[in-house]
Structures are given as structure tokens and as C-alpha cells.
Amino acid sequence: MILKKSLFTSFLLLIMFWGTSYAQQDAQYTQYMFNTMSVNPAYAGSRGMLSAALLYRKQWLGLDGAPTTQTLNLHSPIRDSKVGYGISIINDEIGEGIVQETYFDAAISYTIDVSAAGKLSFGVKAGGNLFNLDVERLRQREGFQEAVNTDNIENRFSPNFGLGIYYHADKFYAGLSAPNLLQTEHFDGGNNDANDVSFLSKERINFYLITGYVFDLGNNFKFKPAILSKVVSGAPLQLDFSGTFLINDKISLGAAYRWDAAVSALAGFQISDSFMIGVAYDKETTAFGGTQFNDGSFEIILRYELIRAYKKLVSPRFF
């Protein structure tokens, strides 16, 4: 049984590794409605206060070497101005560090009033990513001994920048963004033949469309549907639908569906005015989701917000 699991893990890692050769996508999130800063720089400062969020995602529980993602976001408006700023750090790992990519960006936004309640923000971000590939550890896995013909890649830096727009009112929001506009290619630099380059990873442009609404059902009971669409060349269209019920502006319970990929359960709790915690569990609906090596995926997010006494919020922010 252990040998069978090891062979299956190596086979799956091989698929994931070579899958990045042609259409690597940005990290995916089930709780995207709380993690908008990671995909849209125009979101920076939109909550009207200093906001910081930590997110951890473990893909495919029970499978050794499955992908993990950690994110850190911090953003705030500049007092008495229409400008917001923020930073975002995303770390992706496959094979317990065999493949590692870390993104770090600084964002700035500018907001204009388009109606009595509506605001439209424009954002830009700049930064880059560090790519690491431990070929020696990769070759130790079954099936990789002759599959990879390259040297280790250590902290290879690739610059990038992104753009976004974001509209929000009291109960509605929508955003369109492209977080990384430069297509980065990681290749075997040891090959001197310019016509025979071995590409290990190609990161293409990901376009995001996010939208949501808050329905007030009365008796401190609200319903919050949301949609995230992600489009990238060379990969299927990704659509995420979610719906959560908010009780007394404190407890949220809901479900989500990733088109032709997974179903999810979501829960959150507003611990205090400053702290919120949210968790999500995904179960794949693909054939891989029914295997004995995949117990689903888990995600947890913790958000802290600095609410200053001099600036009372007229109404709570729901997104």
C-alpha cells in the first residue's frame, strides 16, 4: 500500500510539474471574496482602514508533496486622500519545496466617486517573483530519474506588473484585473543551442472578473452571492460560484462550486470588530477526487483590521 501511494504521488507530481510547462496559472482560492487584494491591485485601501490578511491553503489532503499556498496581504487608504496602497506576498510550493515560487508586489490605487454611494478605483502594482527548482530532490522520486534534464534553479527573479479596476457601493462590488501582465518563461540555461531550449515553466496572463451582492433578508439575516471568473490562455475557463448567509453580522455559513472541478463548504466568524476568521473545505468532483489519496483541500484565513476611533464606520463593510 505504501509503495502504491508513493508511485501514485510521483506520477501526480510528474503531471503537475510538466503541466506548468505550457500554462501555469496563478494560485486559486476558495475564499476569494476575502482575498481580493491578491488578484486586484485596485482593491487596495477600499475597506477604508488598515486591513491585513493571512491565508493558508493545503491542496489534496493526504497526498505527500501536494501544493500548498500561503498569502499575506496588507493595505490601507492614505488618510484624507483618494489614494490607497498595499503589499501582497504569495508563496506556492509543490513537492514540499521541490518547486517553489514566491510573488511579492506593491500596489497603489486611486478612487473617484461616481455616485452618492458608488466608488470606482484604479490600481497598478509592480513587483516580481522568485522561482526555485530542486532538481536533485526531484530526481529522487520514482519516474523522475530521466525525466528532467536541467540544473537546479535558485532564486531566479522575474519582474512583473499588473492592473485592475474595482467598483463598490454599499451592497454591490465588481472588479476586473490582470495581476501579472508579463509572460515569464523559466528554461534550462545550460543549453547552448538557441533552437533547442527546454522550458520548465511558462506563466501566462491570468484575467480575473469578480462580483458580488449583499441581499438584506431582514432580522439580521443577509445573503451574499459572489462569482469569480478566471481566464488564461491554454487552460479551461474557471468559474467559482459561492453563496453565504450572514447572521447578526458575525457568523457566515455557505457553500461554493468551482465549475466542473469541486464543491466547497465555507464558514466564518467575526471574532471582534478587528478580527475575522474563515475556513473552507473543498471536495473535488473530478475522477481524482474519488481516489483514496485525495481527502480534499483545506483553506483558512485570518483578517485583522485597525479601526480608529476618529473614523467611525457608518455601516459595516461586507466585502
Report, as ranges of residue numbers, the positions in the chain whose pLDDT lies below 70.
1-25, 141-150, 185-203, 287-293, 308-316
Domain span at 238: 24-183+204-305
What pLDDT sits at residue 96? Answer: 81
Q: What angle do CA 49, 68, 59 make, to 5 degrees?
A: 105
Instruction: Indicate the pTM of the whole model.
Output: 0.86
> How far, in Å, CA of 101 to CA of 93, rounded?
7
What does the alpha-carbon distance between residue 149 and residue 164 come to, in Å, rounded to a whole number? 39
Say if residues 57 and 298 touch (Cβ distance below 8 Å): yes
Find, among 262, 261, 277, 266, the residue nearest to 225 by Cα.
Answer: 266
Evaluate whether residue 315 is within a structural domain: no
Answer yes or no: is 16 within a domain: no
- Domain total in the chain: 1
pLDDT of residue 192: 46
pLDDT at 217: 96
Is 10 within the bounds of a domain?
no
DSSP string spanning 218-253? Answer: ETTEEEEEEEEEEEETTS--EEEEEEEEEETTTEEE
CATH code of the domain in which 94 resides: 2.40.160.60
Residues in contact with 225: Cβ distance below 8 Å, sequence separation at least 6, in sequence order: 212, 213, 215, 241, 242, 243
Q: 170: helix, coil or strand?
A: coil
Q: Domain for residue 274, yes or no?
A: yes
End-to-end, the C-alpha distance of the chain in Å comes to: 46
Write phi, then psi, for 118 (nearest 5 degrees): -90, 140
Does 11 fall in a domain?
A: no
Cβ-proximal residues to 277 (8 Å cutoff; 6+ apart), any chain: 268, 269, 271, 300, 301, 302, 303
The number of helices, as runs of H, and strands, as runs of E, in the chain is 2, 17
Would residue 41 count as lying in a domain?
yes
